[in-house]
Amino acid sequence: MTLLRLTATAFALCLANSAAAQDTIIVQSTTSTANSGLYDHLLPIFEGETSISVNVVAVGTGQAIKNAANCDGDVLLVHAKAAEEAFVAAGHGLARFDLMYNDFVLVGPATDPAAVRGMADVQEALKTIAKTDAPFASRGDDSGTHKKEMQLWAESGVDPRASSGTWYRETGSGMGATLNVGVGMAAYVMTDRATWLSFGNKGDFEVLVEGDPDLFNQYGVIVVNPEHCPNVQLESAQTFVDWLLSDEGQDAIGAYEQNGAQLFFPNASE
Q: What is the pLDDT of residues 241-260, one digit of tens each?
A: 999 999 999 999 999 998 89
pLDDT average, residue stretch 13-18: 42
- Whether residue 79 is predicted with pLDDT greater than 60 in this model: the reply is yes
- Same domain? For 109 and 38 the reply is no
| Structure confidence at residue 32 (pLDDT) | 87
Is residue 182 domain-shared with residue 111, that is, in the same domain? yes
Cα separation, 84 vs 81, in Å, equals 5
Angle between helix axes 247-255 and 38-50 (nearest 10 degrees) is: 150
Same domain, 112 and 238: no
pLDDT > 80? residue 20: no
Query: For position 19, what pLDDT does the model report?
Result: 43
For residues 233 and 203, membership in a common domain is answered with no
pLDDT in tens, 218-228: 999 999 999 99
Which tens digit of pLDDT belongs to each residue from 137-169? Answer: 999 998 999 999 999 999 999 999 999 999 999
CATH number of the domain that 46 lies in?
Answer: 3.40.190.10
Query: Which domain does 59 fall in, by range?
Result: 2-101+218-266
Residues 193, 106 share a domain: yes
Q: Total domain count for the chain?
A: 2
Q: How far is CA 138 from CA 106, 124, 189, 191, in A?
A: 11, 17, 6, 9
pLDDT tier at 5 (50, 70, 90 boundaries)?
A: very low
Confidence of residue 22 (pLDDT cuts 50, 70, 90): low
Q: What sign has the CA pseudo-torsion 203, 30, 106, 209? A: negative
Give phi and psi for 78, each to the nearest 5. -140, -170
For residue 230, count other CB atoms closer than 10 A to its CB: 9
Q: Which stretches within 138-217 are classed as H helix?
A: 144-156, 175-185, 193-198
Residue 11, burial from CB neighbour count under 10 angstroms (0-12, 13-18, 19+): exposed
> Is a pLDDT exceeding 70 seen at residue 10?
no
Judged against a pLDDT cut of 60, whether residue 40 lies above it is answered with yes
Same domain, yes or no: 76 and 135: no
- For 121-158, letters b (16+ CB in 10 Å) and e give ebbebbbbbbeeebbbbbbbbbbbbbbbbbebbeebeb
Cα gap 175→137, rounded to integer Å: 10
pLDDT at residue 221, as a whole number: 98
**pLDDT surpasses 50 at 24:** yes
Read off the pLDDT of each residue in 111-121 and give the average, rounded to a whole number: 98
Q: What is the pLDDT of residue 270?
A: 72
What pLDDT is attached to residue 259? 86
Task: Identify whether residues 123 and 136 lie together within a single domain.
Answer: yes
If asked whether residues 238 and 136 sit together in one domain, one would say: no
151 and 188 fall within a common domain: yes
> Do 204 and 226 have their domain in common?
no
Per-residue pLDDT, averaged over 54-63, amounts to 95
Would you state the pLDDT for residue 25? 98
Q: Check whether residue 108 and residue 205 sit in a common domain.
A: yes
Average pLDDT, the chain: 92
pTM: 0.86
Task: Tell me which long-range contacts 230-233 makes (C-beta under 8 A, separation of at least 24).
Answer: 231/71, 232/71, 232/74, 233/21, 233/22, 233/24, 233/25, 233/74
Name residue 105's beta-bridge partners.
Answer: 191
Q: What is the mean pLDDT of residues 32-43?
A: 93
| Sequence-ordered strand ranges (E) for the chain | 24-30, 53-59, 75-78, 93-109, 136-138, 168-170, 189-192, 205-209, 216-224, 257-258, 261-262, 265-266
